[in-house]
């Protein structure tokens, strides 16, 4: 009996133990199922997260890559494929060095090595790689270290941005800037820029030479420092007009004071400068030093005035000389006329009488010599005298010419449609003006001798 009770108690303990074990197993199974559900949920969240970030990596414009510690690609996104000009199968497991020249590959290796040693992310600017088609492109590369769950380095991840176009634009801009800066520094005109307060922010070499100051001395000073108050006020009004209208303006013949106090005369053209947002930021000025030109113009003006005075004096002297020469010519004509008249009236009549006398052979020889010498003396007077020298009227000159042609008084009257008495009147005037008072002498012969 006692043994059965002991067996029953042991059986009850075993049942209780089994129940406890079942409950533990049920609890463990429940925890396992809950853990399984949590693990599935975590895996689903992880898959969703992976899909999300993979989608982001595939959609971004920047290239993304992962390489192992040996430098072989383990992952690249679509942007990186486009950047390298290859498909994913051509890239994965290939070394990053296949896209570099030996020199640029060494540069990239040193950067990866520093990231591995320090664990600090680095950026590589001007990273040049070679595409599959042979084209060289420039990237900006940001590299960081990848670690496994135990924090051991397993590779590198990098984000790359293609900056080829930007670098080219920057290079073109620098080249253009250098080109125009070279032009500005070599032109003879001064080029300056001032801010809205009127202070110089840029000056070229020619402007420095105009002021006889260095660039450092000029920058930061105001244009007002080099002008008289009146000129500065005029300049301010010009700048104000340009600021309000946006239109270019010019100023001629204004004066500035150089470093040594000397005055310079200039002319300028100014226009408005705007910033990237279109707001006025200052003024650009092109200046020409016209001091020498003004001095030359002033010297020319004075010389012109002197020449005018001299020209007036010469004109007056010339007029006086003309009057003197005219008087001298009139005296010459009068003298020649008197000589010819005296010869005709006082000498020739007696010579004609001598001709009619009976001369010896010797006397005739002397007579011929006298007559020849007399002709030689008076012949220049005949050659130098014309009808105009006797102050004849146009009508008298016309009649004298007809007489030379051998026309009679009647014929001349018919030609000129005048009375014969009128022709005789003019013939007498001609004789009188020529000093030809010997009525027996032939007027036509005398007129022909003047020709």
Does the pLDDT at position 167 exceed 70? yes
Query: What does the DSSP 8-state code read for residue 347?
Result: I
- The arithmetic mean of pLDDT across residues 143-157, rounded, is 94
Q: Distance between the two ends of the chain, CA-based, in angstroms? A: 203
| Confidence (pLDDT) at 440 | 61
Considering only residues 367 and 420, tell me which one the structure prediction assigns the higher pLDDT.
Answer: 420
| Tokens 């005109």 found at | 189
For 172-291, the fitting CATH number among 3.30.450.20, 3.40.50.10190, 3.90.960.10, 3.40.190.10 is 3.30.450.20
CA pair distance 67, 160, nearest whole angstrom = 13
| Confidence (pLDDT) at 389 | 61
The structure tokens listed for 106 are: 């060494």
- The arithmetic mean of pLDDT across residues 102-130, rounded, is 90
Mean pLDDT of the chain: 82
Domain residue ranges in the chain: 12-53, 60-169, 172-291, 385-449
Q: What CATH fold (topology level) applies to the domain 385-449?
A: Arc Repressor Mutant, subunit A (1.10.10)
CA pair distance 310, 314, nearest whole angstrom = 6
CA pair distance 270, 251, nearest whole angstrom = 8
How much is the pTM? 0.41
| Tokens 């990098």 found at | 158
- The arithmetic mean of pLDDT across residues 223-232, rounded, is 86
With a pLDDT cut of 90, the percent of the chain lying above it is: 27
- The arithmetic mean of pLDDT across residues 211-231, rounded, is 88
- Summarised one tens digit per residue, pLDDT across range 30-57 is 887 887 788 777 666 666 665 555 555 6
- Summarised one tens digit per residue, pLDDT across range 187-205 is 778 898 999 999 999 999 8
Please return the burial class of 445, using the count of CB atoms within 10 Å of its CB with bins 0-12, 13-18 and 19+.
Answer: exposed
- Summarised one tens digit per residue, pLDDT across range 297-324 is 778 888 888 888 888 888 888 888 888 8
- Summarised one tens digit per residue, pLDDT across range 52-80 is 555 556 667 889 999 999 999 999 999 99
Least confident of 65-74, 179-188, 265-274, 414-423: 179-188
Neighbours of 194 (CB within 10 A): 21
8 Å CB contact between 367 and 359? yes
| Confidence (pLDDT) at 331 | 78
Does the pLDDT at position 448 exceed 80? no
- The arithmetic mean of pLDDT across residues 2-24, rounded, is 73
- Within 72-212, residue ranges assigned H as helices are 78-84, 88-91, 102-118, 164-186, 205-211
| Confidence (pLDDT) at 344 | 67
Does the pLDDT at position 220 exceed 60? yes
Cα-Cα-Cα-Cα dihedral sign, residues 6, 7, 10, 12: negative
Question: What are the angstrom distances between the C-alpha of 343 and each of 365, 373, 438?
Answer: 21, 12, 12
β-partners of residue 155 are 68, 146
Does the pLDDT at position 383 exceed 60? no
β-partners of residue 65 are 76, 158
Say if domain 60-169 classifies as CATH 2.60.40.10. no
**CA angle at residue 309 from 303 to 311, to 5 degrees?**
95
- The arithmetic mean of pLDDT across residues 362-375, rounded, is 78
Does the pLDDT at position 281 exceed 90? yes
With a CB cutoff of 8 Å and minimum separation 6, the contacts of 270 are: 238, 239, 242, 248, 249, 250, 251, 283, 284, 285, 286
- Asked whether this chain's domains 60-169 and 172-291 adopt the same fold, the reply is yes
The structure tokens listed for 284 are: 């650009």
Cα-Cα-Cα-Cα dihedral sign, residues 216, 222, 225, 228: positive
What is the pLDDT confidence band of residue 384, given thresholds at 50, 70 and 90?
low
Question: What are the angstrom distances between the C-alpha of 366 and each of 20, 346, 353?
Answer: 197, 19, 15
8 Å CB contact between 254 and 266? yes
CA pair distance 131, 136, nearest whole angstrom = 6
CA pair distance 255, 235, nearest whole angstrom = 11
Does the pLDDT at position 81 exceed 90? yes
8 Å CB contact between 288 and 265? no
Instruction: Specify the 3-state DSSP secondary structure of 311.
Output: helix
| Confidence (pLDDT) at 443 | 76
């Amino acid at each position: 009996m006692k043994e059965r009770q002991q067996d029953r108690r042991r059986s009850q303990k075993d049942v209780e133990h089994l129940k406890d074990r079942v409950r533990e197993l049920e609890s463990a199974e429940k925890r396992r199922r809950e853990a399984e559900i949590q693990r599935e949920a975590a895996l689903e969240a992880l898959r969703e997260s992976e899909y999300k970030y993979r989608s982001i990596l595939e959609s971004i414009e920047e290239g993304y890559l992962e390489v192992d510690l040996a430098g072989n690609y383990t992952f690249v996104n679509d942007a990186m494929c486009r950047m390298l000009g290859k498909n994913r199968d051509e890239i994965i497991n290939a070394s990053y060095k296949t896209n570099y020249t030996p020199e640029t590959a060494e540069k990239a290796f040193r950067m990866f090595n520093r990231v591995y040693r320090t664990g600090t992310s680095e950026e590589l600017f001007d990273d040049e790689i070679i595409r599959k088609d042979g084209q060289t492109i420039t990237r900006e590369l940001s590299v960081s270290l990848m670690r496994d769950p135990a924090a051991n380095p397993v590779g590198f991840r990098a984000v790359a941005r293609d900056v080829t176009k930007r670098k080219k634009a920057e290079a073109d801009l620098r080249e253009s800037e250098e080109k125009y800066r070279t032009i500005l520094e070599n032109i003879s005109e001064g080029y300056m820029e001032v801010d809205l307060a009127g202070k110089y922010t840029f000056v070229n070499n020619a402007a420095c030479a105009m002021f006889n100051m260095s660039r450092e001395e000029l920058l930061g000073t105001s244009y007002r420092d080099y002008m008289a108050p009146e000129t500065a006020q005029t300049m301010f009004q010009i700048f104000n007009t340009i600021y309000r209208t946006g239109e270019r303006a010019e100023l001629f013949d204004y004066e500035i004071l150089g470093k040594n106090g000397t005055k310079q005369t200039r002319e300028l053209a100014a226009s408005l400068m705007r910033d990237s947002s279109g707001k006025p930021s200052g003024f650009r000025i092109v200046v020409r030093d016209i001091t020498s030109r003004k001095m030359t113009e002033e010297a020319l003006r004075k010389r012109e005035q002197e020449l005018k005075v001299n020209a007036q004096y010469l004109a007056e002297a010339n007029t006086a000389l003309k009057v003197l020469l005219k008087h001298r010519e009139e005296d010459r004509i009068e003298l020649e006329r008197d000589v010819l008249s005296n010869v005709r009236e006082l000498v020739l009549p007696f010579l004609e009488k001598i001709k009619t006398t009976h001369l010896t052979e010797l006397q005739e020889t002397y007579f011929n010599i006298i007559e020849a010498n007399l002709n030689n003396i008076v012949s220049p007077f005949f050659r130098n005298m014309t009808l105009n020298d006797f102050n004849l009227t146009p009508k008298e000159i016309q009649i004298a010419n007809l007489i030379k042609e051998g026309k009679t008084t009647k014929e001349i009257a018919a030609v000129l449609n005048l009375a014969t008495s009128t022709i005789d009147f003019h013939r007498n005037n001609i004789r009188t003006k020529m000093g030809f008072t010997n009525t027996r002498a032939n007027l036509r012969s005398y007129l022909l001798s003047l020709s």
